[in-house]
Amino acid sequence: MITSTLLDSISRPVLLLNENQARENIRIMAEKARQSGVDFRPHFKTHQSIQIGRWFRDYGTTKITVSSVEMAAYFASDGWDDITIAFPLNIRQLSEIEELASDVNLGILIETIEAAQALGLRRSSRFNIWIKIDCGLHRAGVDWQDTPRVHAIIKEVQKFPNLHPAGLLTHAGNTYSARSPEEALSIHTETNKRMRQLRENLGIPELSISIGDTPGCSLSKFFTGIDEIRPGNFIFYDAEQLEIGSCRPEEITVAMACPVVAVHPERDEVVIFGGAVHLSKEAFLHEGTPSYGLAAETLSNGWGSIIPGCTVARVSQEHGIIAVPTQHMSKFYPGGLAIIIPTHSCLAAHLMRRYLTLDGKYFEMMPV
Amino acid sequence: MITSTLLDSISRPVLLLNENQARENIRIMAEKARQSGVDFRPHFKTHQSIQIGRWFRDYGTTKITVSSVEMAAYFASDGWDDITIAFPLNIRQLSEIEELASDVNLGILIETIEAAQALGLRRSSRFNIWIKIDCGLHRAGVDWQDTPRVHAIIKEVQKFPNLHPAGLLTHAGNTYSARSPEEALSIHTETNKRMRQLRENLGIPELSISIGDTPGCSLSKFFTGIDEIRPGNFIFYDAEQLEIGSCRPEEITVAMACPVVAVHPERDEVVIFGGAVHLSKEAFLHEGTPSYGLAAETLSNGWGSIIPGCTVARVSQEHGIIAVPTQHMSKFYPGGLAIIIPTHSCLAAHLMRRYLTLDGKYFEMMPV
């Protein structure tokens, strides 16, 4: 009798999810937050799934972060009622935001006086206002050294009774470019220092400080002077986090199962059904060359160790090309499956729209 | 009275589509194929939409190319009955492929004897077999100089009465790395020469030659010795094609309308709601730096010229950062819209899953 395994059923790229380890990743981060006395407000843009969101409830999570108004509405529909939209206020969505705030304790990020005014005029709803601070990433936010501007925004917020000045919020996404735990931790520490310095300069000790990158939150043992952490990626981790040193290989909980469609021993390459529309075009520098993912051993019910030197060297729309050291070429054959740890799990998950757990359950993500 | 315009209704990233120009792009390519005496088998992975596919019918198209079994089934459901799946045979999908071939004149790409055998044993269906040839892209296919291997595959194909040896197929995707029309045309010309040489070496003149990249097909006036062209991107074009020189700015037919959420005059940058999950992480080198798209003038019912020097310099999951020359900063303000010509329209379309035409119609893409 032939026993059918999880992987036998796969005929096209599928994002596998190791539920047990993902729950363990949640447990560890929730416990670290509890022990450090900081609020835990995980970012749900990583998984975008109501079912996976419920796992967080099992570890005591009551507050969440999302990256869009639609995502806030999606999770609100499952009973989440304390949500921060960690994206600069989009005033073209003010009506939707106002409606949402009538049901949900809603946190909004602003970085201008005009944004405070726009929200303040929506009197029927109450908003928690976070001032977005730029501690060096230079993506969005007010420069952490620009105390007068932050002060002016807070003064404006205080004019409106429906606006509650919650605090100062930053995202130290520059830890993603770190290439060692020490480097990531150093950015993390410096970011926290800048946020505390800004709060001190403002002279408003009751303002909360919220930070939120996975490398910093995974590596740091202490969150001195911090009130809230918002990591997201840590539930899955990925090849880039491994490269940074934020996680161990066995803590990575998603991987793409990709049918092998051709092998090219003459150039030590394998062609998989699994390209930019599955893994994304996000690359990281792995041993000096761009990598779109790392290949792991294919097991009958999941994946094992990362195969040394096996990296997705190129992707086009549906094709992926794995560069394989000669001694590992025999692991790949047409009709087999390659298992790829994606470079950036958030983007791979976003592209796939669903997960297959190692015990065979499908979880859908929010509709796009 | 305030007249509502197309763009007023937009509150989150939307992919705009200029139907008139897209139809013109189709007409021009279909006409060029007709005049050159080659079959026109456009690649539908670019648009993935039944409605847009019907525009091609208006210009006489009866044969199409797709990149997956699912996409073939989707277009077959709208009556397309001559479809090539331009992806190496995935033997994990043999049953689906066999079923599809009972309704559709189905072209399959193979590059091994084993693939020929796998299809040959599915006796109930007939398949048109294209041997995938690698003319220098090194993605998939048999090296064009390896006549014996191609010959052996054809001999195997001929053993099975249900397999029809259609010909030799290549994708000169290396034209995408060209940075001038001359360079792209030179790759195109060399590719065609190699394909003709292979056919001559094989001594089987009845084998068709199929080629298919947008730069080559857009720039070339002649397809000497070629039997079929399969371009896809030309219906939309994009910033990368503009950089190569395959199209003129006014021939680009898709652009992302993105709400502006913050402006940073202190560093001449604009933050938009429009990031890696909208534009993709595909970058091209624009004036020496990576660009995820180019900003164009926002018009009330679409977009105008590309604004010189305005490039999407960075993207994260939902954020995009436009680097803006100082004199153009006043064009961007929170609550306004930025219009971005994506780097690679195929990937941006894939991410968005629908289009908004400039006259206000929504077209959905195939479900993922």
CA A140, chain centre distance (Å) = 17
Give residues with Cβ within 8 angstroms of B164, minimum separation 6: B126, B127, B128, B129
Nearest CA in chain A to B315: A139
Question: Within 10 A of A12 (CB to CB), how many other CB atoms are there?
Answer: 18
CATH 3.20.20.10 domain position(s) in chain B: 20-235
Task: Quickly name the fold that domain A19-235 has.
Answer: TIM Barrel (3.20.20)
pTM for the whole thing? Answer: 0.96
Query: Taking residues A163-170, what's their average pLDDT?
Result: 97
**Interface probe with A: pick from B45, B112, B139, most Cβ of A within 10 Å:** B139
Residues 198-217 of B with CB under 8 A from A: none
Per-residue confidence at B50, pLDDT binned at 50, 70, 90?
A: very high
Per-residue confidence at A178, pLDDT binned at 50, 70, 90?
A: confident
Question: Which residues of chain B are within 8 Å of residue A138 when distances are taken between CB atoms?
Answer: 267, 269, 321
Express each pLDDT in A279-295 by its tens digit.
999 999 999 999 999 99
What does the block give as tokens for A87? 């994206």
What ipTM describes this predicted complex?
Answer: 0.95
CATH 3.20.20.10 domain position(s) in chain A: 19-235
Question: Which residues of chain A are within 8 Å of residue B114 when distances are taken between CB atoms?
Answer: 334
Question: Which of B22, B13, B1 is CA-nearest to residue B358?
Answer: B22
Phi–psi pair at B71, nearest 5 degrees? -70, -35
Helices (H), chain B: 19-36, 50-57, 69-76, 94-101, 113-120, 147-158, 181-202, 214-219, 239-244, 276-279, 345-352
Task: Quickly name the fold that domain A6-15+253-364 has.
Answer: Lyase, Ornithine Decarboxylase; Chain A, domain 1 (2.40.37)
Per-residue confidence at B5, pLDDT binned at 50, 70, 90?
A: confident
Per-residue confidence at A1, pLDDT binned at 50, 70, 90?
A: very low
Compute the mean pLDDT over every residue in chain B, rounded to the nearest whole number.
95
Is CATH 2.40.37.20 correct for B7-15+253-364? Answer: yes
DSSP-assigned beta bridge partners for residue B262? B271
Specify the amino acid at residue A124: S
* C-alpha span between A362 and B270 (Å, rounded): 39
Question: Within 10 A of A304 (CB to CB), how many other CB atoms are there?
Answer: 12
Nearest CA in chain B to A261: B90
Is A11–B92 a contact, with Cβ atoms under 8 angstroms apart? yes
pLDDT at B2 over 50: no
* C-alpha span between A224 and A189 (Å, rounded): 9
- A328 and B CB contact within 8 Å: no
**Interface probe with B: pick from A261, A319, A321, A343, most Cβ of B within 10 Å:** A261
Of B10, B259, B317, the CB nearest to A67: B317
- A8 and B CB contact within 8 Å: no
Per-residue confidence at A2, pLDDT binned at 50, 70, 90?
A: very low
Is B334–A173 a contact, with Cβ atoms under 8 angstroms apart? no
CATH 2.40.37.20 domain position(s) in chain B: 7-15+253-364
Three-state SS sequence of A193-259: HHHHHHHHHHCCCCCEEEECCHHHHHHCCCCCCCCEECCCHHHCCCHHHHHHCCCCHHHCCEEEEEE
Task: Quickly name the fold that domain B20-235 has.
Answer: TIM Barrel (3.20.20)
- B67 and A CB contact within 8 Å: yes
Decide if A64 contacts B235 (C-beta within 8 A): no
* C-alpha span between A162 and A26 (Å, rounded): 34
CATH 2.40.37.20 domain position(s) in chain A: 6-15+253-364
**Interface probe with B: pick from A7, A316, A321, most Cβ of B within 10 Å:** A316
Residue A93, min C-alpha distance to chain B (Å): 6
Decide if B88 contacts A271 (C-beta within 8 A): yes
Decide if A275 contacts A319 (C-beta within 8 A): yes
Is A273–B350 a contact, with Cβ atoms under 8 angstroms apart? no
Is A140–B266 a contact, with Cβ atoms under 8 angstroms apart? no
Sign of CA dihedral A284, A367, B256, B48: positive
Strands, DSSP E only, in chain A? 14-17, 39-40, 64-66, 82-88, 105-110, 127-134, 142-143, 163-170, 208-211, 228-229, 254-264, 269-273, 284-286, 289-291, 293-299, 302-315, 319-323, 337-342, 354-357, 362-364
Phi–psi pair at B23, nearest 5 degrees? -65, -35
**Interface probe with A: pick from B5, B316, B346, B365, most Cβ of A within 10 Å:** B316
Residues 96-125 of B with CB under 8 A from A: 96, 111-112, 114-115
